[in-house]
């Protein structure tokens, strides 16, 4: 095993120019494949930078470019049968072609600095140093590219802009005029519309790139490219938009895309690259710098990222790599989810495939929720704004969807897989999905204490969904309330001819009283009760829901000591299904805790032991959070390692790809987001309160042996706490707790507790 250097040693070792191994991805060669390229994003546009010499490719997306409609796809179990779901589409590519002498670059290096959100490529050729910088600016709404040569007049290149390939549609042609390249297209059916092919929804799209040279010449070519010759440096601004509008009442269509693109390019051109870059870094750091995890660097931490990941998978210690992946999840959320936009989808924001896995959509039986697990605990609350807006729209859109199965007196119902146009794949009605989503509203209030948000945004969902479930529950033979048509995503017990039970992947036979449904309804009722108490609202309904919660069929322990997944004791100890639906109450729920319900916590552990620590990328991320909630740092640490298993681009396996994207397989971004949330859960938990409302802040509840020392700043806990901690030899050495709301709290470290009262706005320096 590689020796672990202390922080001090590391800073001595690190040369001035060496990147910070906890905040930088870097490579010694350009990306050969998309999953080696590096992502930038401004919450709306995403770009993947390949860093090639002699040819750069920047593949880009804009989050609203979707095929599909607001319908429920028919032919439910054969996705794509009528295309109503559509899919998230690649937008286009920007290519930069350099002359022959760039073919043999020396001292090549490309990197992504998470702390600035700038991707950079540098190399030398013919005695000239070339530098390329790429970032996506949220304040200015463009992707900005800067090219520099160390020698005046040495920069010569051609820019091409291409519409993505989306057969059977033909890519729109690119025009070049003056310094600007652009294309405009529309998803019109390529042939007279087949009556059931709702894929081609008529969405209009437009992209343009403007090239600004310093010195030398610029010229638009008849083939639609733009050439720059003999420049000192050059800037390219890229913008893309559609005519999508987030408004179900207008069938999701607004104004044409061209004026939006032109306004962004004109604004960027006026401000210039340096101002854009300064504005971008300030904006990015206002979020990114709020939280920071320091774990020890080793010798391996200084390798290029792909080699570093391979060394780690080979058994090397590299806690700083585990910190890098924590920061990466935050970086990716900042880059893919900003107020006013759409939520991060299954691939966040980045997609180069016209037929992406699971449409690159919004899947509600774990995936979109997991995307937002890190938002509150890692101090990125604003980034969850798009999730809340989307949920509100889905709730409204269901009323316009012609599907009768979505009708309900009160509350609303969602399918498993959804697009941003009010439509869905038709596969698997997900009855408790809306209740699960509503807990994100509840948590946003729990973390912030923002009563306005509680009253206007959270409470309407919590109340109408509590009423919906109150009406849906039925009594079983023992007088317990159960959900009549439950499901445990995504499998179910099927009785064979010989009477034996087999657990079948994807089975959706209704399972009354499935634990997943029962635990989500318990969670919803509990959230409703707490929210209505805080608001002093609806005492009658609250009393009724409290009574109903009491009568709910609760967790059951089965014949082999497991937490039962179904009402009947039919769990198979050999089943290693990826979903952990029946331990929802451990995480993200709070029905089961080692302190309050130790016997159920033990049963959950038995179930999780049987399930194993591997399975898909997101499954591993969930297991990190689950082991953390069971206060088992060593197991959480084992799963951290397994989530970081190196998966070379092009290989189908679960783990982490060369650009540190999570692999289900294939690539899905939920595991990146879930990982970051899981690590936060290992360091700090705040889901418990005592009867008097005292908030428990559990510091370092699940520290793994592999992180004997370290520090973290800016983690958030419920009731408005922000917490910094340092630890050594596996023990807390100091904590700094800032209380925004003045809620009384209890610090827990190991078995010790200490009650505290801190007025709003004050700081406690805690020395254990």
* Distance (Å, whole) CA 590 – CA 106: 55
Instruction: For residue 32, give the DSSP letter.
Output: S
Residues 617-636 that bind ligand FUC (CB under 6 A): 618
Sign of the dihedral defined by the CA atoms of residues 220, 221, 227, 229, in that order: negative
Instruction: Quote the least distance from Cβ 35 to ligand FUC, whole Å.
Output: 17
The residue from 367, 398, 519, 532 that contacts ligand FUC (CB under 6 A) is 367
User: How far, in Å, CA of 702 to CA of 705, rounded?
Assistant: 9
Rounded to whole angstroms, the Cα distance separating 435 from 528 reads 10
Enumerate residues 487-506 that contact ligand FUC by CB under 6 A.
Answer: 490
Report the C-alpha gap between 232 and 209 in whole angstroms: 19
- State how far the Cα of 48 lies from the Cα of 360, in Å rounded to an integer: 16
Minimum distance, C-beta of residue 577 to ligand FUC, in the bound complex (Å): 9
Does the protein bind ligand FUC through residue 578 (CB under 6 A)? yes
Minimum CB separation of residue 360 from ligand FUC in Å reads 9
| Residue number with CB closer to ligand FUC (430 or 549) | 430
Please tell me the distance from the alpha carbon of residue 25 to that of residue 323, in angstroms, as a whole number. Answer: 12
**Residue nearer to ligand FUC on the CB measure, 151 or 504:** 504
Cβ nearer to ligand FUC, comparing 50 with 622? 622
Going by C-beta distance under 8 Å and a sequence separation of 6 or more, which residues neighbour residue 80? none
In angstroms, the CA 109 to CA 122 distance is 5
Q: Closest CB to ligand FUC among 323 and 615? A: 615
Given the rule CB under 6 A, which of 4-12, 262-270, 359-367, 525-533 is the region that contacts ligand FUC? 359-367
Residue 128 to residue 149: CA distance in whole angstroms? 6
Burial of 286 (0-12, 13-18, 19+ CB in 10 A): exposed
Q: How far is the CB of 178 from ligand FUC (least distance, A)?
A: 44
> Residue 440 or residue 579: which is nearer to ligand FUC going by CB?
579
In the complex, minimum distance from the CB of residue 628 to ligand FUC, in angstroms, rounded to a whole number: 21
CB-wise, 35 or 114, nearer to ligand FUC?
35
Number of alpha helices (DSSP H) and beta strands (DSSP E) in the chain: 15, 35
Nearer to ligand FUC, 345 or 685 (CB): 345
Closer of 360 and 378 to ligand FUC (Cβ): 360
Of 651, 649, 134, nearest to 660 by C-alpha is 649
Q: Which span (331-339, 357-365, 564-572, 732-740) binds ligand FUC, by CB under 6 A?
A: 357-365
Stretch that binds ligand FUC, among 20-28, 117-125, 360-368, 682-690 (CB under 6 A): 360-368
Query: In angstroms, what is the minimal distance from the CB of 664 to ligand FUC?
Result: 6
Which residue bears the tokens 């179900």? 248
Angle at Cα 81 formed by Cα 193 and Cα 341, nearest 5°? 80
Task: Give 740's DSSP letter.
Answer: S
When the beta carbons of 205 and 358 are compared against ligand FUC, the nearer one is: 358
If the CB atoms of residues 605 and 663 are measured against ligand FUC, the closer one turns out to be: 663
Nearest residue (CB) to ligand FUC, 242 versus 365? 365
Residues 6+ apart with CB under 8 A from 126: 101, 154
**First-to-final CA distance of the chain:** 32
Distance of closest approach, residue 256 Cβ to ligand FUC, in angstroms: 33
440 forms part of the interface with ligand FUC (CB under 6 A): no
Contacts of 255 (CB under 8 A, 6+ apart): 243, 245
Q: What are phi and psi of 516, to 5 degrees?
A: -55, -55
Q: Are residues 631 and 8 in contact, defined by beta-carbon separation less than 8 angstroms? A: no
Binding region for ligand FUC (CB under 6 A) out of 29-37, 215-223, 358-366, 530-538: 358-366
x/- contact string, 645-684, with ligand FUC (CB under 6 A)? -------------------x---x----------------
| Position among 187, 358, 445, 566 found at the interface with ligand FUC (CB under 6 A) | 358
Please report the DSSP string for 378-444 in residue order. Answer: TT-GGGGHHHHHHHHHHHHHTTT---GGG--SSS--EESEE-TTS-B--S-EETTHHHHHHHHHHHH
Contact call for residue 419 and ligand FUC (CB under 6 A): no
Name the minimum Å distance from CB 540 to ligand FUC: 39
Which C-beta is closer to ligand FUC: that of 203 or that of 346? 346
Q: Extract the runs of DSSP E, i.e. beta strands, from 627-685.
A: 655-656, 662-663, 684-685
Nearer to ligand FUC, 364 or 739 (CB): 364
- With CB under 6 A as the contact rule, the residue among 346, 431, 503, 700 that binds ligand FUC is 346
Q: Which of 217, 205, 261 is nearest to 237 (CA)?
A: 261
Residue 616 in contact with ligand FUC, rule: CB under 6 A: yes
State the minimum distance, in angstroms, from the CB of residue 358 to ligand FUC: 4
59 binds ligand FUC (CB under 6 A): no
Query: Judged by CB under 6 A, how many residues of this single chain contact ligand FUC?
Result: 11
Q: How far apart are CA 369 and CA 358, in angstroms?
A: 16
The residue whose Cβ lies closest to ligand FUC is: 358
Gyration radius (Cα) of the chain, Å? 26
Interaxial angle between packed helices 433-448 and 385-397, expressed in degrees from 0 to 180 and rounded to the nearest 10: 140
> Residue from 351, 363, 532, 581 that binds ligand FUC (CB under 6 A)?
363
Task: Please give the residue ranges that form the binding site for ligand FUC (CB under 6 A).
Answer: 346, 358, 363, 365, 367, 490, 578, 616, 618, 664, 668
């Amino acid at each position: 095993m590689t020796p672990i250097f202390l922080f001090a040693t590391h800073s001595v070792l690190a040369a001035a120019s060496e990147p910070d191994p906890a905040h930088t991805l870097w490579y010694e060669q350009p990306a050969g494949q998309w999953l080696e390229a590096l992502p930038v994003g401004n919450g709306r546009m995403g770009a993947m930078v390949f860093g090639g010499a002699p040819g750069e490719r920047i593949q880009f997306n804009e989050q609203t470019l979707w095929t599909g409609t607001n319908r429920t796809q028919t032919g439910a179990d054969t996705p794509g049968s009528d295309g109503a779901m559509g899919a998230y589409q690649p937008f286009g590519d920007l290519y930069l072609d350099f002359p022959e002498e760039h073919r043999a670059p020396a001292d090549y290096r490309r990197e992504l600095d998470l702390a600035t959100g700038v991707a950079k490529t540098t190399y030398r050729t013919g005695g000239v140093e070339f530098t390329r910088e790429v970032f996506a600016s949220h304040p200015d709404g463009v992707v900005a590219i800067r090219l520099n040569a160390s020698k005046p007049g040495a920069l010569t290149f051609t820019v091409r802009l291409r519409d993505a390939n989306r057969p059977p549609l033909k890519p729109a042609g690119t025009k070049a005029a003056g310094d600007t390249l652009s294309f405009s297209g529309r998803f019109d059916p390529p042939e007279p519309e087949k009556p059931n092919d709702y894929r081609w929804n008529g969405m209009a799209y437009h992209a343009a790139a403007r090239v600004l040279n310093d010195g030398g010449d610029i010229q638009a070519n008849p083939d639609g490219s733009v050439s720059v010759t003999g420049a000192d440096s050059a800037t390219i601004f890229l913008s893309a938009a559609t005519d999508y509008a987030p408004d179900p009442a207008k069938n999701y269509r607004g104004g044409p895309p061209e004026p939006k693109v032109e306004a962004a390019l004109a604004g960027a051109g006026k401000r210039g690259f340096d101002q854009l870059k300064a504005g971008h870094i300030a904006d990015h750091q206002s979020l990114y710098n709020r939280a920071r995890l320091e774990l020890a660097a080793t010798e391996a931490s200084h390798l290029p990222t792909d080699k570093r990941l391979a060394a780690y998978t080979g058994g090397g210690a590299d806690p700083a790599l585990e910190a890098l992946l924590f920061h990466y999840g935050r970086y990716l959320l900042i880059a893919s989810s900003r107020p006013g936009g759409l939520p991060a989808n299954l691939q966040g924001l980045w997609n180069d495939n016209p037929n992406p896995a699971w449409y690159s959509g919004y899947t509600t039986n774990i995936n979109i929720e997991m995307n937002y697990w890190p938002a509150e605990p890692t101090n990125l609350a604003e980034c969850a704004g798009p999730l809340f807006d989307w949920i509100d729209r889905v709730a409204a859109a269901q009323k316009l969807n012609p599907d009768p199965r979505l009708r309900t007196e009160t509350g609303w119902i969602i399918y498993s897989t959804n697009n941003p146009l009010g439509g869905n794949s038709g596969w698997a009605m997900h009855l408790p999905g809306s209740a699960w989503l509503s807990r994100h509203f509840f948590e946003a209030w729990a973390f912030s204490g923002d009563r306005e948000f509680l009253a206007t945004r959270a409470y309407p969902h919590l109340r109408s969904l509590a009423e919906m479930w109150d009406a849906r529950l039925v009594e079983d033979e023992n007088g317990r309330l159960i959900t009549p048509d439950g499901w445990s995503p995504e499998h179910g017990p099927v009785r064979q001819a010989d009477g034996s039970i087999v657990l079948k992947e994807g089975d959706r036979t209704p399972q009354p009283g499935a634990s997943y449904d029962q635990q989500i309804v318990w969670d919803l009722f509990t959230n409703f009760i707490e929210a209505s108490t805080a608001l002093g609202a609806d005492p009658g309904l609250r009393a009724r829901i409290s009574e109903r919660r009491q009568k709910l069929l609760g967790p059951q322990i089965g014949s082999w000591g497991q937490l039962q997944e179904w009402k009947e004791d039919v769990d198979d100890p050999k089943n290693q299904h990826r979903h952990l639906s029946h331990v929802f109450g451990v995480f993200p729920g709070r029905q089961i805790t080692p302190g309050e319900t130790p016997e159920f916590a033990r049963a959950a552990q038995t179930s999780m032991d049987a399930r194993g620590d591997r399975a898909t990328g997101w499954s591993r991320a969930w297991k990190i959070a689950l082991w953390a909630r069971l206060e088992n740092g060593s197991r959480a640490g084992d799963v951290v390692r397994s989530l970081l298993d190196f998966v070379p681009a092009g290989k189908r396996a679960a783990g982490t790809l060369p650009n540190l994207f999570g692999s289900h397989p294939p690539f899905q971004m939920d595991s990146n987001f879930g990982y970051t949330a899981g690590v936060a859960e290992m360091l700090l938990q705040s889901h418990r309160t005592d009867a008097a409302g005292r908030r428990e802040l559990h510091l370092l509840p699940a520290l793994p042996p592999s992180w004997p020392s370290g520090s973290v700043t800016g983690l958030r806990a419920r009731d408005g706490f922000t917490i910094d901690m340092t630890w050594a030899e596996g023990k807390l050495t100091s904590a700094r707790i800032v209380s925004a709301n003045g809620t009384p709290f209890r610090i827990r470290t190991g078995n010790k507790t200490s009650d505290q009262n801190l007025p709003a706005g004050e700081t406690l320096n805690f020395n254990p």
